[in-house]
Amino acid sequence: MKKNNLKKIFIIFIFFIIFSCSSTKKSLSVSSSTLTGKTYKLMNMFEDNGITISFYNTEFYGYGGANTYFGEYELRRGNILFIKNIEVTKISEEEEAITEEKDYLKYLTAASSIEFNGEELVINTLDNDLKLIFKRLY
């Protein structure tokens, strides 16, 4: 009887190991050191504009589709994101690109949290239906 119980416990243990090690995309804890030195491209909107974001310590910068932009960010409790002090260079005068860039920066300013799974960086906004999904370039 004891061998039978041990066998059941062993089988349950094996199932637990298999399911806990499955290859699901889990969100990793995000810190400034996780982001520093990495560049991402926006993939779920304005794809033709080549919008990017890069991080260095507590600052970010990138190309907004018409101009370059930069600012500061703060992370709290691993995934709460605050975007501050966004500045934009005035290089391009192409109206459509500038309009899309303004929309992107408006969404970025409304950031509420950040998720990272090793491949994608997702910035959630105060509008729960809107997410900025980035793919790592380098």
Q: Please give the structure tokens belonging to residue 125.
A: 């906004």
Cα 75 from Cα 58, distance rounded (Å) = 9
pLDDT band for 38, please (50, 70, 90 cuts).
very high
Cα 42 from Cα 22, distance rounded (Å) = 28
**Confidence at residue 23, expressed as pLDDT on a 0 to 100 scale:** 41
The residues facing 121 across adjacent strands are: 116, 134
From the centroid of its chain, how far is CA 137? 13
Domains and CATH numbers, the chain: 27-136 (2.40.128.270)
**Confidence at residue 19, expressed as pLDDT on a 0 to 100 scale:** 44
**Confidence at residue 9, expressed as pLDDT on a 0 to 100 scale:** 57
CB 50 within 8 A of CB 29: no
Comparing 67 with 33, the larger pLDDT belongs to 67
Q: Which residues contact 136 (CB under 8 A, 6 or more apart)?
A: 38, 39, 40, 119, 120, 121
**Confidence at residue 12, expressed as pLDDT on a 0 to 100 scale:** 54
CA nearest to 29, candidates 75, 84, 70, 82: 75
Mean pLDDT of the chain: 85
Average pLDDT over residues 106-130: 92
pLDDT at 39 over 80: yes
Cα 59 from Cα 32, distance rounded (Å) = 9
